[in-house]
Chain A
Amino acid sequence: MPFVLSKDSPRPTFPPMPDGLFTFFAALTLGAALLLVLSRNAVTSAMGMILALVGIAADFFLLDAYFLGVLQVLVYAGAVMVLFLFIIMLLDTDDAASAYPWKTAALGLATFFLLGAGVLWLFHWSGAVSAAPAGATPPEFSANPAEFTTAAKSFGRLLYTKYLLPLEIAGFLLLVALVGVVSLSKDAPEGQA
């Protein structure tokens, strides 16, 4: 496991600064996620969610996972969020006008700061995560199917060999979800179902 430090691997004396693009997109993603959590208007929340998902997709690009980045934008920020926006417009989703009780707000703040502090300690100061750079840009395609490559066809090769059964199950899951959604949204008469 190359990302776990052994006893004799060099430890960073200070955390190295990430590069500019990563900082920009990380800030964008976190800001958009804040908008999602804090906004009272459901449509504004959905816009924050879309922005956060695009930010995550940008991070996929920075991690050289181009195919996943495109997939994230297409499936998540596209199809899924359009579904969300449809439902938001369909239903009357006005938040209750009253402010949140202080107990809820305190619980939320405490959760966020505890988790955030834990994450910061675990990944930044505890030294448990190696500070080794990612290394050279991965090749576009490689003869070894297990190696990280950027081309979409390396996904296809794994999906139709090593992960063939999971792929079939995922397809079947989509079918089941389709049938489930149709039966759920059928207009059942009163007193039935």
Chain B
Amino acid sequence: MEHTTLAHHLLLAGLLFALGLTGVLVRRNLLVVYMCLELMLAATTLAMVAFSRFAHKMDGAVFVFFVITVAAAEVAVGLALIVALYRRRGTIQSDALNLLRD
């Protein structure tokens, strides 16, 4: 732990966030897009824990606890929405879901 500074953890979190955002922008499979969103969320929690640890404060860690709780609820609802979408439209490819465009 001696040589790993806050910057290293933030760097890892930032790169993970960038990867997740890239996936959200590029991928067309809604499920994979959703997983990339979750990756972005996890990257932000990593930054939060790093700040919490390096500031010697507990509050950031407790916040991450709440973030994990909310993320679990959010995933359940989001996946139910995706299943409902698939039932109605028969696809979860985002480029096929242009009902409101034309």
Contact = CB atoms under 8 A, between A and B. Distances in A.
Interface residues of A, number: 92
B15 A184 contact: no
Size bracket of the B interface = 35 or more
Say what secondary structure dominates the interface of chain B. helix
B74 to A, nearest CB: 7
Nearest to B62: A158
Contact of A184 (B64, B84, B95): B84
B97 interface: no
Query: Lowest 3 A-B CB distances belong to which pairs?
Result: A119-B14, A115-B18, A177-B73
14 contacts: A3-B6, A56-B46, A75-B68, A109-B22, A111-B22, A119-B15, A123-B7, A124-B7, A134-B1, A134-B54, A145-B58, A146-B59, A148-B56, A176-B73
Interface of A: 1-3, 15-19, 22, 26, 29-30, 33-34, 36-37, 42, 45-46, 49, 52-53, 56, 59-60, 62-65, 67-68, 71-72, 75-76, 79-80, 83-84, 87-88, 90-91, 93, 95-96, 100, 104-105, 107-109, 111-112, 115-116, 118-120, 122-124, 129-135, 137-138, 145-149, 154-155, 158-159, 163, 166, 170, 173-174, 176-178, 180-181, 184-185
